[in-house]
């Protein structure tokens, strides 16, 4: 067998498709291997470049390939798709991965460590528990609404709904009352789990230096800081803060041609978790400014005079993303803007 320079791997749960190529891109081998065969084959293969899509279990296999001495490149699936020729199948996907990995301008995803993925598990689990609690609260509200009982939206008003359920004078049938009690118990159980995870996330954010630094910025809390540390690549990959904001999908979408610049809404083509948390943090800053008042002549005050709060929140999230990049690149805490009297 000729020398293999790069191997494209189409990762799956049980069956792996491999496409080996030489330095000139010519095909050396095509193999379909089981999970155990794949691990054994890559351990015996001479050191080479291994390319995979950044999908489920890809980071695990990237660490395994690095342990065997291979260089690893992970590519976002959307960047691989244009290189698939005609019909889509595992062999065509593996070949497309090789073609994409050989492009000199291709963007790659940094493999995550086991600790990063553990923090991602904590973050995703909390999100799932919050979603389940929201579903239970909405179910409880809708069930009681059928009997003419209502309460404002929000987790803070569940106690009011619980009083309605326990009030013997309400005309709720006993069957519905028992089921509503089950939902209230489920909401309490999920709340305990969420609070426990929140405490653990806050403790993790205090232990590491980067999350502590990020929390010095208004609107960035322990969860947002943990999300940046977990999901964001090293800031050295971005040339500027705008590039980081663009990676998050917080910059305007472009539809420019003929030298004419046309900008639209925020692209939303990036890491959605960090983007959503930054916008939530920006809304918290805006609510605080509306109650306490922002400094006269500040950027936030001028924007709130001209734009709706939701639009200002996206613009502020963009500024926060740029500030995060600058803070991490310079190893500095947040410094507020300096106001110059006219």
Residue-by-residue pLDDT tens, the chain, 342 positions: 578 999 999 998 889 999 999 988 889 999 999 999 999 999 999 999 999 999 889 999 999 999 999 999 999 999 999 999 888 899 999 999 999 999 999 989 889 999 989 999 999 999 999 999 999 999 999 999 999 888 888 888 999 999 999 988 888 999 999 999 999 999 999 999 999 999 998 888 888 888 889 999 999 999 999 899 989 888 998 999 999 999 998 888 777 777 777 776 777 777 889 999 999 999 999 998 888 777 777 888 888 888 899 999 999 999 999 999 999 999 989 887 765 554
Rounded Cα distance between 105 and 19, Å, is 21
Per-residue confidence (pLDDT) for residue 257, from 0 to 100: 75
Spatial contact of 97 and 51, defined as CB atoms under 8 Å apart: yes
Residue 304: the pLDDT is 87
Q: Edge-to-edge strands of the sheet including 6-10?
A: 27-34, 15-21, 6-10, 49-53, 71-75
pLDDT at 342: 43
> Which tokens in the block code for residue 296?
């006269």
| Separation between Cα atoms, residue 86 and residue 267, nearest integer Å | 29
80-91 b/e (C-beta count within 10 Å ≥ 16 → b): beebbeeeeebb
CB atoms < 10 A from the CB of 103, how many? 11
Residues 231 and 274: their CA atoms lie apart, in Å, by: 8
The predicted structure's pLDDT at residue 262: 76
Q: What does the pLDDT read at residue 168?
A: 85
The pLDDT score that the predictor gives to residue 204 is: 86
Q: Phi and psi for 305 in degrees, rounded to 5? A: -75, -25
Q: Which residues contact 169 (CB under 8 A, 6 or more apart)?
A: none
């Amino acid at each position: 067998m000729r020398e293999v320079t790069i191997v494209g791997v189409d990762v799956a749960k049980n069956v792996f498709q491999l496409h080996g190529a030489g330095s000139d891109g010519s095909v050396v081998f095509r193999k379909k291997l089981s999970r155990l065969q794949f691990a054994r084959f890559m351990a015996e293969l001479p050191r080479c470049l291994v390319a995979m899509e950044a999908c489920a279990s890809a980071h695990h296999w990237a660490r395994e390939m690095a342990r065997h001495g291979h260089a690893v490149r992970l590519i976002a699936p959307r960047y691989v798709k244009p290189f698939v020729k005609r019909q889509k199948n595992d062999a065509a996907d593996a070949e497309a991965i090789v073609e994409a990995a050989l492009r000199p301008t291709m963007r790659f995803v940094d493999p995550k460590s086991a600790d990063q993925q553990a923090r991602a598990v904590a973050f995703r689990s909390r999100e799932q528990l919050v979603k389940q609690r929201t579903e239970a609260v909405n179910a409880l509200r809708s069930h009681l609404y059928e009997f003419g009982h209502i309460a404002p939206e929000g987790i803070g008003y569940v106690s009011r709904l619980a009083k309605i359920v326990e009030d013997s004078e309400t005309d709720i049938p006993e069957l519905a009352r028992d089921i509503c009690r089950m939902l209230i118990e489920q909401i309490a159980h999920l709340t305990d789990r969420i609070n426990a995870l929140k405490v653990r996330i806050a403790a993790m954010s205090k232990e590491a230096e980067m999350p502590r630094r990020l929390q010095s910025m208004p609107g960035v809390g322990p969860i947002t800081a943990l999300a940046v540390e977990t999901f964001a690549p090293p800031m050295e990959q971005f040339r500027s803060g705008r590039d980081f904001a663009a990676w998050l999908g917080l910059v305007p979408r472009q539809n420019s041609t003929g030298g004419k610049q046309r900008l639209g809404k925020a692209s939303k083509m990036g890491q959605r978790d960090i983007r959503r948390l930054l916008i939530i943090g920006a809304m918290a800053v805006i609510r605080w400014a509306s109650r306490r008042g922002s400094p006269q002549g500040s950027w936030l005050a001028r924007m709130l005079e001209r734009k709706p709060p939701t639009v200002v929140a996206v613009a502020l999230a963009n500024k926060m993303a740029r500030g995060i990049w600058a803070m991490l690149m310079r190893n500095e805490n947040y410094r507020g803007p300096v106001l110059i009297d006219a």
